[in-house]
Amino acid sequence: MTDQWREVDPLSKFILLADDDLSDLQRTSLDVLYQPIIGVLPYALINNFWRMSHEKKTHQAHSHFETLSYLSVDMKSFYDARLRLEAAGLIKTYIKTSDKGEKQYVYRLVSPLSVNDFFMDDLLSVSLLQVIGEDRYVDLYNEFIRPGFDLSEYKDVSKNFLQVFNIRDSEVTNTPKAVQRVKNSIKDNSNDVKAGPVIEKSDDFDFNLLLDMLNQSYVNTSDVKKNINLINSEHQLYGIDEIEMAKLIERATNVTNNVFDPKNFKILVSRKFQSNALNVESRQNSEVTELKSETKSIDLTKKERELSNIAREYTPLDFLNKIKGQNNEFVQETENKMVNNLVEMQFLNFEVINLIIYHIIMDMQKPSLSKSLFESIANDWSRHSISNAEDAIRYIKQRKNDRNDKIKETKRNYRKPIKRKLPEWAKKGAKQKDYGEIDKKDEEEIQKIINEIHSDGKEGGR
């Protein structure tokens, strides 16, 4: 599988199929929910495909080479990105081989799931939870999913269509030919592509054994059976066996009514997985863990929380344009390139890159992003595992606090220099001190020594 990308000829053609335009909700789902899972390049590729599907004639062939050039990637990167989109259920790939062995591709664009359907999909919601963490996952859930309303005490008095609109009975029972032709055309063109990712049932997990263990507990197994896909997804993602799975299901079940809570179950599994991962990481990177624990203790102000929310709403280039636009400045080409390069490396999340931009331009009052400073901060934040906007702000504040502490310590240890008076002999215009004449006897002795030195020199020269 690792070398299958070589089979795709960059000069080969492909056709894009898109049944519908993206709605605003589907666009939000793609931008906010899918993007953390699929990654930066697949996100750029699927957006480019949607744009291309609308700008040219229907079923017009495109060149892979043009797409590679537009995205500035090689074929292997393109192929890997395509696989991620296929796995996420965002595209379907079809291949036709001619008699000459030439291949033509068809990429059918599949509309992203709506926000509600996304959170109901086990694979996608679990994957998102794994990538962004519990806190952010719950925030997104609360932001997009509206709370339910109990209508049990209300009576439905809504009128149906025929009670309001006048339609002849003959046209309902005998569909007009024009309507029937359109219906048949839609059926012929539709392949009934299912949205969302698909996963095969695991052969190494005994679901019946799990149910037998749960039958010995207070868990209502009928609720568990309804969530077999969720349990299968968690098993394949994290390798959880039947015994451990039963324990997690018990913990996710309400003791008072024995109702299994899938949302709580996902969070419990994520906590366990992240806990195991953090234990390993803490042993390998004790310095990083210690630093993050310090920065976590720093509370954020209301404005800082607002900044972190804004940082999550924009791509880095859009964020850079917003920041510089506020200062009546334009984005330089070198700045665009720097930000793009950092995004493509996928070392830092969008929101973290946005905080680097904000820190340099707003905090440090720099008129533009210098390459050395931008890359230096990015390397430092990557080394210290800064993964979200809140951690970035806390880290900035921690560094400021440390710097202020050093300045205070330096001031405490600073001593005022002592003013020393120049000696009289060093002052300008001072009269040189008379040390007296050399004693006559001493002068004769010195001359005697000089003569002896000269005498030795002459003898050596003979």
CA distance 276 to 281: 9
Q: Which residue has the tokens 């335009």?
A: 21
Task: Please name which of 390, 88, 141, 143 lies closest in space to residue 266, comparing C-alpha atoms.
Answer: 141
SS3 358: helix
Give residue 23's pLDDT: 85
Partners of 97 in the beta sheet? 103
Specify the amino acid at residue 357.
Answer: I
Tens of pLDDT along the chain (462 residues) come to: 456 778 888 889 999 988 778 888 889 999 999 999 999 999 999 999 998 888 766 678 899 998 998 888 888 889 999 999 998 999 999 999 888 888 899 999 999 998 888 888 878 888 888 788 888 888 888 888 777 777 888 888 888 777 787 776 666 666 667 777 777 765 655 555 566 666 556 667 888 888 888 887 888 888 888 888 888 878 777 778 888 888 888 888 887 777 888 888 888 887 776 644 444 444 444 444 444 444 444 578 888 888 888 888 888 888 888 888 887 888 888 888 888 778 766 678 888 999 999 999 888 888 888 888 888 898 888 888 888 889 899 888 888 887 777 666 665 655 555 555 555 555 555 555 444 455 555 556 656 666 665 555 555 544
Under DSSP, the state recorded for 253 is B
Q: What is the predicted pLDDT for the residue at 2?
A: 52
Task: Please enumerate in sequence order all residues whose Cβ is within 8 A of that of 96, keeping only pairs 6 or more positions apart, or say none.
Answer: 103, 104, 106
Strand 103-109 relative to strand 13-18, pairing:
parallel
Q: Is there a contact between 360 and 398 (Cβ–Cβ < 8 Å)?
A: no
Coil vs helix vs strand at 255: coil
Percentages helix, strand, coil for the chain, rounded to the nearest 5?
Answer: 65, 5, 30
| Rounded Cα distance, 328 and 173, in Å | 65
Output the pTM of the full model: 0.47
**3-class secondary structure for 384-400?**
CCCCCHHHHHHHHHHHH
From its phi and psi, is residue 109 left (phi > 0), alpha (psi between -120 and 50) or beta?
beta
Query: What token pair was written down for 29?
Result: 């789902």
CB 127 within 8 A of CB 84: no
Distances (CA, A) of 222 to 114, 228, 258: 27, 10, 10
- The amino acid occupying position 203 is D
d(CA 244, CA 260): 16
| Upper half-sphere CA count for residue 374 (Cβ side, 13 Å) | 22
The end-to-end CA distance of the chain, in Å, is 95
Query: How does strand 61-63 pair with strand 91-97?
Result: unpaired
Q: Give the torsion sign (CA, 288, 289, 291, 295).
A: positive
Chain mean position to CA 371: 21
User: What values do phi and psi take at 213, rounded to 5?
Assistant: -70, -40
